[in-house]
């Protein structure tokens, strides 16, 4: 890798960190808001949902625009809007003002989670692409672990400061202008483009993306803590134990993602995806089967490895389906699918929990993972050689 490529990769990874700035900083920040304005957790949670809401609409639109006018223009404008939301938060004096600032931040962040992946897919291919997507996911996982700590320290100084972190986007926007070259020109999209006809394959990949995000934000993030509470109902260190399990999953994801590129040299992306979905199913069933807190370490590590394999591989496969002139649009659809899963997961498994019990949540989750594994098996046995060249 050349020096210029290293600077390019570092800039892309900084975009990935910006994605985490909008969400991973929130737990300490929301606690500070509750204390400052005297609101409950349900009201404070509006600051999280208002941030993700613009992405459901704007992410695919901005991906399409990025294909038409270029990645840099959309990224720089998005980062400037993101930074403006951070600066606006510094001036907030009421909860309503803070909601408005978070909405601005959400508009600015809408394109970042898709276009960072698009840039990797623009400039790198085959095993190197999967390797860098794995590293990118590791960066996100490390950020998920570190950013709440930074946010907590800032919240101790002033409740506005965690919400001002997006202002760092000004620096990243400058890096994008200087270090990201224009995407190589491609010919206009042909209506009969061979790769663009793989809609069934794309639909399956988007469904897997939505389903696996639903498993992350449903059973794992919303119900593993309840499993821990049932195993240790009177433990004074309950909250610390919950935090340790969540953190352990991020560590497993970070380490596992570093090896995705190496594994991709020996196995096809479809095989890795099938393994990832199988690991999800095993982990979810073990969460309800293990009898002690300490044994929860096993399914947590397995779930983290599933995350490590799943997301970079899905991103690579989606990029392989997309014709170059529609890469931003297609990857934005994948990001939107993830946001749908992130939103629907807690709602879906909330219904399952109310209709059944905690065990039902993990059993249904395991069933969904098993269906995803079958879908990945179909992808494995229906890989067109014209698509395969983009992932090898």
**What does the buried/exposed string (b/e) look like for 313-331 if buried means 16 or more CB atoms within 10 Å of the residue's CB?**
bbbbbbbbbbbbbbbbbbb
Distance in angstroms (rounded) separating the CA atoms of residues 314 and 296:
27
Distance in angstroms (rounded) separating the CA atoms of residues 266 and 41:
47
Nearest alpha-carbon partner for 146 in 38, 17, 265 = 17
Distance in angstroms (rounded) separating the CA atoms of residues 74 and 72:
6
Most confident range (mean pLDDT) of 30-39, 180-189, 271-280, 310-319 is 271-280
**pLDDT tens readout for residues 327-380:** 888 999 998 898 888 888 888 888 899 899 999 999 999 999 999 999 999 998
Domains of the chain (ranges, CATH numbers): 3-179 (1.20.1250.20), 195-388 (1.20.1250.20)
**pLDDT tens readout for residues 266-310:** 999 999 999 999 999 999 999 999 999 999 999 999 999 999 999
Please count the other Cβ atoms lying within 10 Å of the Cβ belonging to residue 255: 15
């Amino acid at each position: 890798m050349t020096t210029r490529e290293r600077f390019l990769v570092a800039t892309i990874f900084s975009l990935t960190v910006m994605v985490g700035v909008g969400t991973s900083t929130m737990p300490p920040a929301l606690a500070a808001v509750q204390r400052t304005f005297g609101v409950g957790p349900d009201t404070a949670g509006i600051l999280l949902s208002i941030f993700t809401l613009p992405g459901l609409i704007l992410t695919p639109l901005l991906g399409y625009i990025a294909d038409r006018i270029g990645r840099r223009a959309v990224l720089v404008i998005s980062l400037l809007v993101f930074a403006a939301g951070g600066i606006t938060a510094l001036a907030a004096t009421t909860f309503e003002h803070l909601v408005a600032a978070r909405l601005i931040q959400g508009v600015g962040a809408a394109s970042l989670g898709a276009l960072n992946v698009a840039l990797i897919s623009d400039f790198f291919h085959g095993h190197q692409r999967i390797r860098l997507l794995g590293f990118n996911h590791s960066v996100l996982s490390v950020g998920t672990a570190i950013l709440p700590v930074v946010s907590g320290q800032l919240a101790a100084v002033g409740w506005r400061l965690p919400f001002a972190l997006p202002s760092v986007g000004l620096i990243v926007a400058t890096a994008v202008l200087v270090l990201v070259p224009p995407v190589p020109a491609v010919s206009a999209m042909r209506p009969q483009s061979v790769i663009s006809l793989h809609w069934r394959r794309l639909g399956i990949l988007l469904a897997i993306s939505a389903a696996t995000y639903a498993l992350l934000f449903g059973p794992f993030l919303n119900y593993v803590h309840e499993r821990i509470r049932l195993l240790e109902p009177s433990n004074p260190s309950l909250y610390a134990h919950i935090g340790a399990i969540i953190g352990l999953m991020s560590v497993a994801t970070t380490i596992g993602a570093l090896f995705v590129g190496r594994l991709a040299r020996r196995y096809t992306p479809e095989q890795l995806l099938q393994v990832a979905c199988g690991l999800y199913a095993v982990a979810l069933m073990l969460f309800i089967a293990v009898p002690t807190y300490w044994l929860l370490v096993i399914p947590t590590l397995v779930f983290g490895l599933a995350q490590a394999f799943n997301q970079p591989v899905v991103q690579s496969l989606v990029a392989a389906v997309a014709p170059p002139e529609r890469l931003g649009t297609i990857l934005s659809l994948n990001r939107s699918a993830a946001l749908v899963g992130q939103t629907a997961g807690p709602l879906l498994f909330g219904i399952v929990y109310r209709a059944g019990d905690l065990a039902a949540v993990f059993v249904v989750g395991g069933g969904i993972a098993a269906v995803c594994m079958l879908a990945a098996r179909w992808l494995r046995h229906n890989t067109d050689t014209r698509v395969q060249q983009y992932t090898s």
